[in-house]
Chain A
């Protein structure tokens, strides 16, 4: 049984395969056309900007695939806290285990990063809209604006995902603590808020 895949996707799959073999700089449009079993002319029709546009699109496509996996992993979680925790755990592991990404970071980081920069607005939009949708059904503290909160959570989430720093994002307890404090303590009311306790003043 053959699966029908549209031509654009076929080209992108081929591009990723070529980059996997030869790296970013050495991947030419001709290589990709050959890998996809298409003519150069066909590939140019879909990517008029040529090789550079094709490479950028391939990076964007891989990132979109990654985000889809992240979405699938977090979907079954019951609430925002659980989704953020699972998102960090799964998302971090998926980055660590993404062989091509790790290889490119190690050998062609300067060629890769500008392509990732182009993709960042899309990443932010997708993550933000998922978080914003989740916030709709969350009772938030009175001073919290849900749009601001979505922006805040998106920025923090992507920051930790890409650069864990000293945090061990394989440690579920540590991740839960991180999410409960820095991410959600200001957004979601906790039972103790009722006591009016404020140890900071």
Chain B
């Protein structure tokens, strides 16, 4: 923010708004407002005007920060939410030191984050098409890539690169199956997550090593 422009008190509102707001702060505000709008009305029915009103700024201001309009606001917001989730996850994984702990904890953190995310909850309930755009067929590829990029370094302490990648991807798939209601395991419960991992994932990693098979 430009400090030298003097006090805002007494200046007409229009003039005040034309001062460029701090871009990082504004961007955050717009994305927070977007999440609140989507949680209420979903993606299709949320307009840039809705977001502007919710963010207490003008459409023009939003366009300056997001020249691509509504689509780029949505994309940036989604990216930020994922980045925040991964940062939080990394912190929770930091003290752990077995494959089982890493994977089970990831399942639980992911399942809980999804369950409590209001905007995502709205979409899952009312706009499944939007969710499936990123979860079905090759639409899932970016998330799988992200899972591998994040998870492989975490798991390579314990597993070969190939097994680490496959495990990271497995974890993402299990979370997704949980979200799309394929599973009876309650992934928000750490004991259930541990049971799932130790019963279904770990023996396969062992079997892989015994077979002496190398990267596909």
Contacts and interface: CB of A to CB of B under 8 A. Distances in A.
B3 to A, nearest CB: 47
A113 B136 contact: yes
A81 interface: no
A186 B177 contact: no
B196 A163 contact: no
Nearest to B100: A200
A159 B128 contact: no
A149 B216 CA distance: 26
B199 interface: yes
B208 interface: yes
B183 A186 contact: no
B207 interface: yes
Contacts of A200: 98-99, 202, 205-206
Contacts of B169: 165-166
B21 interface: no
Nearest to A105: B137
Interface string A102-136: 00010001100110110011001000000000000
B129 A155 contact: no
Given A156-B177, A166-B144, A109 B133 contact: yes
Contacts of B204: 180-186
Contacts of A160: 173
A144 B199 CA distance: 7
Given A163-B141, A165-B169, A187-B200, A181 B207 contact: yes
Contacts of A192: 210
Contact of B208 (A110, A113, A168, A181): A181
B177 A177 contact: no
B203 A117 contact: no
A181 B166 CA distance: 10
A158 B133 contact: no
B85 interface: no
A110 B131 CA distance: 10
Contacts of A113: 128-129, 132-133, 136
Contacts of A144: 199
Interface in B177-216: 177-178, 180-185, 196, 199-211, 213, 216
B66 interface: no
A165 B168 CA distance: 12
A27 interface: no
A86 to B, nearest CB: 19
Nearest to B135: A163
A199 B209 contact: yes
Contact of B207 (A105, A155, A165, A190): A190
A198 interface: yes
A110 B183 contact: no
Contacts of B141: 163, 165
Name the 8 nearest CB pairs between A and B, nearest first.
Answer: A155-B177, A155-B182, A181-B204, A185-B204, A186-B200, A163-B140, A185-B203, A114-B129
19 contacts: A105-B137, A110-B129, A113-B128, A113-B136, A114-B129, A141-B199, A151-B185, A155-B173, A155-B177, A158-B182, A159-B176, A163-B138, A163-B139, A165-B140, A171-B216, A174-B216, A180-B207, A198-B206, A200-B99
Given A163-B139, A197-B206, A197-B210, 18 more contacts: A121-B181, A124-B182, A148-B185, A151-B183, A152-B196, A155-B173, A155-B182, A158-B177, A158-B182, A162-B140, A163-B137, A167-B216, A177-B216, A180-B211, A181-B205, A182-B201, A199-B210, A200-B99
